Amino acid sequence: MYTRINSKQFMLKNLEFGGNNHIYIQSMCNTKTKNVKETVEQILELEQLGCEIIRVAVLDQEDALSISKIKNQIHIPLVADIHFDPELAIIAIQQGVDKIRLNPGNISNKEKIVEIVNMCKERNIPIRIGVNGGSLPKDIAKPTAEHMIEAARRHISILEELDFHNICLSLKCSNIDLTLEAYKLASETFPYPLHIGITEAGTSFKGLIKSSIGISKILDLGIGNTIRVSLTDDPKYEVIAAKEILKELHFKEDLPTLTSCPTCGRTAYNMIPIAKEIEEYLNFVNKKIHVAVMGCAVNGPGEAKEADLGVAGGNHEAILFKKGIIIRKIKEENILEELKKEIDLF
C-alpha cells in the first residue's frame, strides 16, 4: 500500500509535493478565468486564508490566454482545469501554468497527448488525473470503486507509456463510503500522491459535515497529500474548512482555535454575534492561539481555562481572562475591539 508518506514525490512550482511533505490545501475559483481582475482578487483572498494551491477552469482560448496574467499577480501554484480540448492545455502550458488537470483518455488525438506530455516534462509540470464517479467512461456503467480504479488506470497508463510519472490522482464522488473504498484501492494500486475530497458535497452547512467525515476517514487511512473541501459557496469557506479539518487532526499546528459556549439561560450578553466576528477575525490570524468567547462569568473562565485568552459576559460588561484567571472588566460595547487587540498582541 502506498500511504501519503511513501507516495511518489515531485515539485509543484516551489512546493515539495507528495511523500512525507505536508498536506496542501486546495480550492478552485468560481470566477470566470478570463475575468482576470476578479480571479486574482479571489485568489489573493484565498491565499491570505491559507490556500496553498488554486485551480481555475479553462473553457476557451481567452481563459487559457489569461493564465500568465493571473500567475504574475499571485503567489501560489496555479492549476488549469481542462476537459477534452488539448489545444487549451497547450496554451495553458505555454502561458506558464504550474499544473494541469487533464484526463488523457478523453483526448482522441494521440499526437496531441504526446505533445502535451513532452511540454510538461520539459517544464516540470505535473498532471492531475481526476476521476469522478459521476462521469466514468461510457463502457463503465456503474460507479464502483473497482470501476473508478479501472478508469484511472486507463488515463495513467497513457502517461506511463510516455514515461511520465509526475502524476497526482483524485477519485471523487459524492458518496462517502464509495469514495473511501476508491481511495483505499487507489493507494494499494498506484504509487502517486492522492488529492482527496468528497465532491458535490453540498452547501457550506451539510456539505461541510459530509466533507469533514469523508476527508477525516480517508486521512485516517494514512492517505491524502492534498485536500479540497468542495462546497456550494464562496471558496473561502472551502479553505477555512480545510484548515480546521487539518488542525483538528493535528496535521497543522500554527493555527488559532476558538472555544465558544453554546449559550444557555445564564448567558448575560449578546454573545453570538461576538463569537461569530471573532471566528471571522481568527480566520486571518496565522498563529497558534486559543481564544474563548463564553456566555457567563460564573462558568465561562473555568470552562475555558485552557484558552490563552477569552471573554465571559456579565451584565452589560464582560471579563477578560487569561488561562482561566480574570484580568480585567470590559464594557460590552468594547468587547470586540479589546479582544482583537489582545489577539494581535499575543
Q: Which three cell numbers stand for residue 335?
A: 468587547
The reply on whether position 261 binds ligand SF4 by CB under 6 A is: yes
* 225: amino acid identity, one letter: N
Task: Mark 145-164 with x for binding to ligand SF4 (rule: CB under 6 A) and - for no binding.
Answer: --------------------
* 334: amino acid identity, one letter: N
In whole angstroms, the minimum distance from the beta carbon of 337 to ligand SF4 comes to: 22
DSSP state, residue 84:
S
In contact, 24 and 17? CB cutoff 8 Å: yes
Q: In the sheet where 226-227 sits, what is the strand order?
A: 167-172, 127-132, 99-101, 78-81, 53-57, 24-28, 226-227, 195-196
- Contact with ligand SF4 (CB under 6 A): which of 141, 264, 325, 345? 264
What does residue 73 show for φ and ψ, rounded to 5 degrees? Answer: -110, 5
The reply on whether position 259 binds ligand SF4 by CB under 6 A is: no
In whole angstroms, the minimum distance from the beta carbon of 50 to ligand SF4 comes to: 29
In contact, 33 and 57? CB cutoff 8 Å: yes
The reply on whether position 263 binds ligand SF4 by CB under 6 A is: yes
Among residues 69 and 305, whose Cβ is nearest to ligand SF4? 305
Among residues 197 and 300, whose Cβ is nearest to ligand SF4? 300
Which residues 54-83 are close enough to bind ligand SF4 by CB under 6 A?
A: none
CB atoms within 10 A of CB 238: 29
Q: What is the distance between the alpha carbons of residues 324 and 312, in angstroms, rounded to a whole number? A: 10
From the list 130, 114, 125, the residue with the least C-alpha distance to 92 is 125
Among residues 218 and 319, whose Cβ is nearest to ligand SF4? 319
In whole angstroms, the minimum distance from the beta carbon of 264 to ligand SF4 comes to: 3
Q: What is the distance between the alpha carbons of residues 187 and 170, in angstroms, rounded to a whole number? A: 11
Q: Which three cell numbers stand for residue 243?
A: 484548515
DSSP per residue, 273-295? HHHHHHHHHHTT--S--EEEEES
In contact, 253 and 238? CB cutoff 8 Å: no
In whole angstroms, the minimum distance from the beta carbon of 198 to ligand SF4 comes to: 32
88: CB partners within 8 A, 6+ apart: 58, 59, 60, 61, 63, 64, 80, 82
- Contact with ligand SF4 (CB under 6 A): which of 22, 267, 277, 285? 267
In whole angstroms, the minimum distance from the beta carbon of 143 to ligand SF4 comes to: 44
In whole angstroms, the minimum distance from the beta carbon of 312 to ligand SF4 comes to: 7
Q: What is the distance between the alpha carbons of residues 67 and 88, in angstroms, rounded to a whole number? A: 11
Size of the site for ligand SF4 (CB under 6 A): 12
Stretch that binds ligand SF4, among 63-71, 73-81, 98-106, 255-263 (CB under 6 A): 255-263
Task: Mark 215-254 with x for binding to ligand SF4 (rule: CB under 6 A) and - for no binding.
Answer: ----------------------------------------
Task: Mark 285-314 with x for binding to ligand SF4 (rule: CB under 6 A) and - for no binding.
Answer: ---------xxx--xx--x-----------
Among residues 262 and 273, whose Cβ is nearest to ligand SF4? 262
In whole angstroms, the minimum distance from the beta carbon of 299 to ligand SF4 comes to: 4
DSSP state, residue 225:
S
Interface residues with ligand SF4 (CB under 6 A)?
A: 261-264, 266-267, 294-296, 299-300, 303
